[in-house]
Structure 1
Amino acid sequence: MGSLAGALLTSRITDRFGVGPVIIIGFAVSPLAQVPLLLAGPGRGWQIVLAATLAAQLFWATAAGVSQRTLRQILCAPAFQGRMQAVSTTVTAGSRPLAAASAGALALVLDVPAVLTIGALLQIVPALLLLASPVRALRTMPVLPAPAAVPPAREGIS
């Protein structure tokens, strides 16, 4: 439900807060959402807290994801759209097995809460980098001039 709401409300919240702040909030909510997980104990109360936290995290992650992908597509030349998306997918999805293996190795040395804490602290880095970048001042999507039309290729010419 959080992701669906985030997808449906992205344009409204970017209009209200700005594109850059929505991206930054999306990255900042993720490490904050780890805090209840680290504090949780047994019981229905904690289940409700964790479900609500996950919904909020998915809301902001989706809003940030839609905003950042839209921004990348606007800024990237049409001829490079496929490469840009492939690199983004490779970096994000490709790092997951390495992160999982690293967390597993750390869990052999440390306890699980310590590994989760380290993971949450590492998730702060992207938010800090975004805060230090020009993204923080971005309120609307940039409007770039339309690219010059490329004449269609003539048939029979290779």
Structure 2
Amino acid sequence: MGSLVGALLTSRMTDRFGVGPVIITGFVVSPLAQVPLLLAGPGRGWQIVLATTLTVQLFWATAAGVSQRTLRQILCDPAFQGRMQAVSTTVTAGSRPLAAATAGTLALVLDVPAVLAVGALLQVVPVLLLLASPVRALRAMPVLPAPAAVPPAREGTS
């Protein structure tokens, strides 16, 4: 539900708050959403807290994802759109098995809450990078000039 609502409200949020703030907020919410997971205990109350937290996290992850993909597509030359998306997908999806193996190995040495805390702390790194980047000040999607039209070749000339 969080992802669906995030997808539906992204353009309104970027219009109101700005593209950069929406992207950064999405990245900020992710490590914060790990805190209830670290504190959770048994019982229905914690189940409700975790479900609510996940819904909010998915809302912001979707809003940030839609915003950043749109920004990349605007800035990327149309001839390289496929490559750009392939690289992005490879880096994000391709790193998951490595991250899972690393987390599993750490869980053998540390306990699971410690591994979850390490994961939450590592999620702060992209936030710091975004805060140091021009994305921080981005309020609207950039409007790039249209590419110059190439005049058609005249017949009989080379």
The TM-score bracket by the shorter chain reads over 0.9
Deviation at 1:41, TM superposition (A): 0.4
Aligned twin of 2:156: none
Aligned match of 2:39: 39
In 2, the alpha carbon distance for the partners of 1:150 and 1:6 equals: 40
Structure 1 residue 149: Cα displacement: 3.3
- TM-score w.r.t. the length of structure 1 is 0.94
Query: Who is 1:141 aligned against?
Result: 141
Counterpart amino acid of 1:3?
S
CA pair 24-152 structure 1, distance change in 2 beyond 3 A:
farther
For residues 15 and 6 of structure 1, the distance between their equivalents in structure 2, rounded to whole angstroms, comes to 14
CA apart distance, 1:151: 6.6
User: Residue type matched to 1:146 in 2?
Assistant: A
Secondary structure in 1 matching 2:139:
coil
Write the letter of the residue equivalent to 1:5.
V
Alignment of 1:57-68 (within 5 A): 57-68=57-68
Q: What is the CA distance between 1:10 and its match in structure 2?
A: 0.2
Segments ≥4 residues shifted beyond 4 Å = 150-153
1:98 paired with 2:98, answer yes
Structure 1, residues 76-133: CA drift from partner, whole Å, max 9, x if none? Answer: 0000000000000000000000000000000000000000000000000001100010
Q: Report the residue type matching 1:67 in the other structure.
A: S
| TM-score between both structures, scaled by the size of structure 2 | 0.94
The CA distance in 2 between the partners of 1:151 and 1:79, in whole Å, is 19
In the other structure, the counterpart of 1:118 is 118
Match of 1:59, SS state, is helix
What letter is aligned with 2:106? L
1:49 partnered with 2:49? yes
Q: For residue 17 of structure 2, what is the aligned residue in structure 1?
A: 17
| Residue matched to 2:88 | 88
Residues 152 and 23 of structure 1: CA distance in aligned 2, closer, same or farther (over 3 Å): farther
Which residue pairs with 1:156 in the alignment?
none
Letter of the 1:58 counterpart: L
Q: Which runs of 5+ in 2 are unaligned?
A: 154-158
Mean CA deviation greater in 140-149 or 111-120: 140-149
Distance of 1:9 and 1:151 partners within structure 2: 41
Query: Quick one: distance in 2 between partners of 1:83 and 1:123?
Result: 26
Number of aligned residue pairs:
153
Instruction: Give the drift of 1:148.
Output: 2.5
Residue in structure 1 matched with residue 27 of structure 2 by the alignment: 27
Distance 1:80 1:129 in 2: 24
